[in-house]
Chain A
């Protein structure tokens, strides 16, 4: 392979220790939040508060995945908001349809 015609010279840089450490920190946070969710699943009674905590922790995890792993936090603001703003419709969709579901349940 070393003598092949199309071999190109590539300048390999050393690992970015600081960046790699940060990525593992984010991984640790994601693991820890999942562990906390797991504990809450059995430590708390079912109810609106438990659901709210789960949704809150899920948004924390989503923030770390999209912001750090997918690098969106460091992108240009136009791109950042172009992705985030449309998701507002999903929040409304969730609220509206669950409300509708409860209404259907009352009619039954």
Chain B
């Protein structure tokens, strides 16, 4: 596009002195970091696919589904609880809410970037604050989700040793094969840690904005760089939502 810089005559644009990719060093490195991070998340999700497809799938009717160690559980039967609505079966509603929260915080982030382009400090402050609120809301939801998953449903389930087991840990769970809970903890945990890091970075940007650091610097590019990271966190959740909760 128009941001492409041209090299001096007789020299390639790859010979140095110009940016052939049309972005600053910091943004370029953020892109390649995110690419490597995408590989890490892909590895986790692909391993989930491998292990899940190596277990038997549940064959019967969805309504007649019961938890068993013999086959992989249907996600919508595991994740059907919503805070304050105890005992009501609302499959996937809570993760749906979490998805909307994260998409909305991505929107407020991109609005902060837009405000940064205009050097509008007040607007950047406002939208960064909303982004931080969205991130904290998501983390709170995930804390509840984990607590519920670990403590388990009322009935519990018989494990191989013949005892009744409630909830989940890394070696046993009431929902299905041990790997199921292990993947839940690893995938949503690794994503949740990214969200936590993102909230910390967002707060740092908010603080610097309030202190006028970027006004003195003359540009708000840091908002863009951290924005890239924050959108990536949203992007990963889109994939986790599909491959862990929907499929």
Give A contacts to B, CB under 8 Å. Answer: 6-8, 10-16, 19-20, 23-24, 27, 30-31, 34, 37-38, 41-42, 46, 50-51, 54-55, 57-58, 61-62, 65-66, 69-70, 74-76, 78-79, 82-83, 86-87, 90, 93-94, 97-98, 100-102, 104-105, 108
B42's contact among A23, A74, A93, A100, by CB below 8 Å, is which? A93
CB contacts (< 8 Å) of A105 on chain B: these are: 53-56
* Chain A residues within an 8 Å CB radius of B96: 34, 38
Per the CB 8 Å criterion, the residue count for chain B at the interface is 63
B118 near A104: Cβ-Cβ < 8 Å: no
Q: How many A-B residue pairs have CB under 8 A?
A: 158
Give Cα A31–Cα B227 distance, bound, in whole angstroms.
20
Chain A residues with CB below 8 A from B50, complex form: 97-98, 100-101, 104
B147 interface hit (Cβ, 8 Å): no
Asked whether, in the complex, the Cβ of B22 is within 8 Å of the Cβ of A10, the reply is: no
A76-B3 contact in complex given A97-B47, A98-B50, C-beta closer than 8 Å: yes
How distant is the Cα of A19 from the Cα of B117 in the complex, in angstroms?
12
Do the beta carbons of B91 and A42 come within 8 Å of each other? yes
Give Cα A76–Cα B241 distance, bound, in whole angstroms.
31
Residues on B close to A: CB < 8 A? 1, 3-4, 20-23, 28, 31, 35, 38-39, 42-43, 45-47, 49-56, 62, 74, 76, 91-92, 96, 99-100, 103-104, 106-107, 109-111, 114-115, 117-121, 123, 212, 215-216, 227-228, 231-232, 234-235, 238-239, 241-242, 246-247
Q: With A65-B231, A87-B38 in contact, is A31–B54 under 8 Å at CB?
A: no
Known: A30-B103, A83-B35. A90 touches B42 (CB 8 A): yes
Of the candidates A10, A19, A27, A69, the one having the most CB atoms from chain B within 10 angstroms of its own CB is A69
Contacts of B3 in A (CB 8 A): 76
Our pick among B43, B111, B232 for the contact of A70 (Cβ within 8 Å) is B232
- Return chain B residues, CB-CB under 8 Å to A55: 242, 247
Query: A69 touching B238 by the CB < 8 A rule?
Result: no
